[in-house]
């Protein structure tokens, strides 16, 4: 059932091939078979020649390809880097409570403007004032013990001096008894007693020195107790300070403040949320630069943007990322814009233009762009010998009228149609767009 359509398609393809490609041979064959057709052929050819322009019938050299081209002259442009971006608040903070408790203040509603330090949430103090009073009492008690402990140190030092004096006296008596014993004037018992008195005096010195160390250790222990009590007082005071949650900077409330009676838990990551504050003056416009454009932008350069509402704003580049996004291989750039009336909102789409050095560029249709075998962006031109030649280009800007490109000579003949069907060195016969139009 399917063989008939296939045979029909093959026959039609052969007929079309004979008519289009082998036209001349087919005419010679017809003239040989039908002599009367040979007499009519010149008449038909003359009619076709009269109806067709002479240029169209002019035979082309073998291998020459017809293309459409345009002559382009470079123009100087400001070479601004154009990209799309979005507005972003200069600062945005989710204000969290640092302690737990019940909210006792009236909530502020979203959209309200708050000043830096303004109270957003007030938490019930509970027993915190009593804890502070207890910590302060312990601190006062520890400080009151200082004179008593400090007085023990001089007393212990005096005992050490007395014990050392007794030791010196005992050593003198022991030496005297030893010499008298050697001369036969003192008994051995007296010598032993003198030596025992020396050992007793040495023990007394050791005990007195231990007492002095104990007194000093007591002073160190007291100092540690005082510092611990001071830390407890500081913690209690900080807990009371945490009861009042304030705005970290002037801005707008993006969410309602915590409702009266709600429980804020400072220990939970999301349980202590009081309010969200954003700062819109100044505001940032954020875009992402491709790798080929990042070298043309510098911090401090002037930049502007057109919002979707039609509003145009201007500012300067305040940040240019040094590391690329791992997914898009683009670099973040920020332009800071004054926004005193808060008319620019967070998250608006913007068309960004950042100033750069002027450059000579060609305005060409985007369809003229092509890729080389290595994947390099460029266009195909017609050289002086009317052969196709690929030239790499750099894309500066994409506009409604076309694309601005650099990397070409001041005057170029660029192939706009047919550049995908030729390679370098292939002869071409260009027809210019203004003539065809």
DSSP string, 41-62: HHHHHHHHHHHS-HHHHSPPPT
**What does the pLDDT read at residue 174?**
81
DSSP string, 104-118: -SPPPPTT-EE-TT-
Residue 62, strand partner residues: none
Rounded CA gap, 433 and 302, in Å? 39
Q: pLDDT tens digits, residue range 318-331?
A: 999 999 999 999 99
**What does the pLDDT read at residue 87?**
96
Yes or no: is domain 279-354 CATH 3.10.180.10? no
**What does the pLDDT read at residue 20?**
63
Rounded CA gap, 174 and 194, in Å? 5
**What does the pLDDT read at residue 172?**
87
- Fold designation for 93-124+243-273: OB fold (Dihydrolipoamide Acetyltransferase, E2P) (2.40.50)
Rounded CA gap, 275 and 253, in Å? 7
- CATH number belonging to domain 65-79+359-436: 2.40.420.20
Cβ density class 11-45: b for 16+ within 10 Å, e for less: eeeeeeeeeeeeeeeeeeeeeeeeeeeeeeeeeee
| Closest of 363, 351, 267, 279 to residue 313, by C-alpha | 351
Residues in the chain, pLDDT under 70? 1-2, 4, 17-58, 79, 267-271, 433-437
Instruction: Decide the pairing of beta strands 101-102 and 81-96.
Output: unpaired
Rounded CA gap, 75 and 52, in Å? 39
**Domain boundaries along the sequence of the chain:** 3-51, 65-79+359-436, 93-124+243-273, 129-241, 279-354
Give the other-Cβ count within 10 Å of 336's Cβ. Answer: 16
Q: pLDDT tens digits, residue range 47-85?
A: 344 444 444 446 778 888 999 999 999 998 876 788 999
**What does the pLDDT read at residue 18?**
65
Chain centre to alpha carbon of residue 197: 82
403, 379 in Cβ contact below 8 A?
Answer: no
Q: What 3-state DSSP class applies to 344?
A: coil
**What does the pLDDT read at residue 13?**
73
The two structure tokens encoding residue 187: 């008994």
Q: At what angle do helices 128-144 and 146-182 cross, to 10 degrees?
A: 30
| Closest of 93, 15, 98, 87 to residue 277, by C-alpha | 93
**What does the pLDDT read at residue 279?**
94
In the block, residue with structure tokens 């080929």: 292
The two structure tokens encoding residue 388: 């196709």
Q: Compute the C-alpha angle 365/370/373, nearest 5°.
A: 170
Sequence-ordered list of residues with C-beta below 8 angstroms from that of 379, at least 6 positions apart, any chain: 364, 368, 369, 370, 390, 391, 393, 405, 408, 414, 415, 419
Strand extents, DSSP E, 158-272? 244-246, 251-253, 263-264
**What does the pLDDT read at residue 28?**
63
Q: Compute the C-alpha angle 312/316/322, nearest 5°.
A: 125
**What does the pLDDT read at residue 396?**
78
389, 380 in Cβ contact below 8 A?
Answer: yes
> Dihedral sign, CA of 72, 76, 81, 84?
negative
């Amino acid at each position: 059932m399917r063989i008939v359509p296939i045979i029909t398609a093959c026959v039609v393809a052969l007929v079309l091939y004979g008519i289009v490609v082998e036209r001349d041979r087919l005419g010679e064959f017809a003239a040989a078979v039908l002599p009367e057709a040979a007499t009519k052929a010149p008449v038909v050819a003359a009619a076709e020649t009269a109806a067709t322009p002479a240029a169209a019938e002019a035979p082309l050299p073998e291998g020459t390809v017809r293309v459409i081209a345009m002559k382009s002259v470079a123009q100087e442009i400001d070479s601004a880097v154009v990209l799309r971006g979005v507005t972003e608040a200069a600062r945005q903070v989710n204000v969290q409570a640092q302690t737990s408790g019940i909210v006792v203040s009236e909530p502020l509603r979203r959209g309200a403007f708050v000043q830096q330090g303004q109270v957003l949430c007030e938490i019930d103090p509970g027993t915190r004032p009593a804890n502070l009073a207890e910590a302060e009492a312990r601190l006062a008690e520890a400080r009151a013990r200082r004179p008593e402990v400090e007085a023990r140190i001089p007393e212990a030092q005096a005992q050490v001096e007395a014990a050392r004096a007794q030791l010196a006296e005992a050593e003198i008596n022991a030496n005297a008894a030893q010499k008298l014993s050697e001369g036969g004037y003192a008994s051995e018992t007296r010598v032993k007693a003198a030596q025992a008195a020396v050992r007793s005096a040495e023990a007394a010195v050791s005990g007195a020195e231990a007492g002095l160390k104990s007194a000093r250790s007591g002073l160190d222990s007291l100092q540690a107790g005082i510092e611990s009590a001071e830390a407890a007082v500081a913690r209690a005071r900080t807990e009371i300070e945490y009861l009042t949650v304030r705005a970290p900077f002037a801005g707008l409330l993006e969410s309602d403040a915590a409702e009266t009676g709600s429980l804020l838990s400072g220990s939970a990551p999301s349980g202590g949320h009081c309010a969200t504050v954003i700062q819109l003056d100044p505001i940032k416009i954020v875009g992402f630069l491709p790798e080929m454009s990042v070298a043309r932008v510098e911090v401090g350069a002037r930049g502007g943007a057109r919002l979707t509402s039609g509003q145009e704003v201007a500012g300067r580049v305040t940040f240019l990322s040094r590391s690329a996004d791992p997914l898009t291989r683009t670099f973040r750039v920020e332009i800071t814009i004054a926004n005193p009336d808060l008319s620019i909102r967070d998250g608006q789409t913007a068309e960004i233009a950042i100033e750069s050095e002027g450059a000579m560029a060609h305005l060409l249709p985007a369809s003229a762009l092509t890729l080389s075998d290595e994947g390099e962006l460029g266009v195909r031109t017609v050289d002086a010998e009317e052969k196709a030649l690929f030239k790499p280009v750099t894309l500066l800007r994409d506009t409604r009228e076309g694309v601005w490109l650099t990397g070409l000579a001041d005057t170029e003949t660029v192939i706009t149609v047919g550049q995908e069907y030729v390679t370098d060195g292939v002869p071409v016969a260009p027809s210019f767009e203004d003539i065809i139009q």
